[in-house]
Amino acid sequence: MYKKNRNFTPTQIIFTLFALLLSVSAYAGEKLKPFILASNAPGDLAAVVADTKSKLTNAGFEVVGEYSPYTGANIIIVTNDALKKNAEATDTGGYGAVQRISVTDKDGAIQVAYTNPVYMAYAYQMKGDLSDVAAALEKALGKQEAYGSKKGLDADDLKGYHYMFGMPYFDEPDVVADHGSYDAAIKAVEAGLAAGKGGVSKVYRVDIPGKQQSVFGVAMTEGMSSDATIMKEVDFMDIRSTAHLPYEMLVDKDGKVYALSAKFRIAMNFPDLSMAGDHSFMGIMASPDAIKEALAQAAGASKEKSGGGAFDF
């Protein structure tokens, strides 16, 4: 887990280099943003949610979960064969096994948006760039604009992303529990989520084909780990970034339960947020510890303090 396999055959090396060249030619220098706005018009929230789900299923996506973290916000989580195959080919691919589509009521206008698959593919260090998934979502839902960062980040920025010096990278996740085996970990996580431990409950579960790895999407409702509390602070622009939610836990074959550090996960989707001032990371400085602790409880960790850290310098 989180270690690169360097035992490649000559054929694999040639294929990999070819794939990298294709990726570079398509996205070299392009500034990517975390979300795509599909539509923004007056309407009925429930009707738009139903219509969005219909468009997604007609486009071959499987709806694996739905979540309303607070009034006026709905999130639909989907996967498909392309996402699962890419996840299977990537060591920590579970994080990229789904895409999130949000339907948000902002002052009577219904905003339909979704995570940018290409942005997420680079940030999660996936084998493929998910451009095929991006094309499928655009065809199904539309594309008005990319948003979530004024200037955007290029592929190289995302593959090595961290918010600032001293902040964690993608490959520095929190280990929120260790149960010794995949089966034991799955059992513990399912039980903890069903019991709502730490104020955490299950939104979806996707098992990655071809290996012992599962990703859980979770809702959090208590204290400074609360989705509503955090989003009230960070999601304040006119076009909402509701599809930041829900958070993930990854159960791997080694029996460990991983979660991306909140200091990475939040910053990745809100890269323009300032460190201090109104609507800043300082407003949620207690959240990284709170999120890690809540997830540890939900994952059935021991009573030992899980540690962590705030958004400090």
Nearest to 163 by CA among 45, 312, 9, 11: 312
Mean pLDDT in each 10-residue stretch from start to end of the chain (313 residues)? 52 49 56 98 98 98 98 98 98 97 98 98 97 98 98 96 94 97 98 98 98 98 98 97 98 98 97 92 95 98 55 38
- Is residue 108 a contact partner of residue 96, using CB atoms and an 8 Å limit? no
| Range list of β-strands (E), 171-211 | 174-178, 200-207
Q: Which domains does the chain have, with CATH numbers?
A: 10-158 (3.30.310.70), 164-298 (3.30.310)
What is the per-residue pLDDT for 111? 98
How far is 78 from 61, CA to CA, in rounded Å? 6
Pairing state between β 62-70 and 73-79? antiparallel
Longest dimension (CA), the chain: 57
| pLDDT reported for residue 29 | 72
User: What is the reported pLDDT for 23?
Assistant: 47
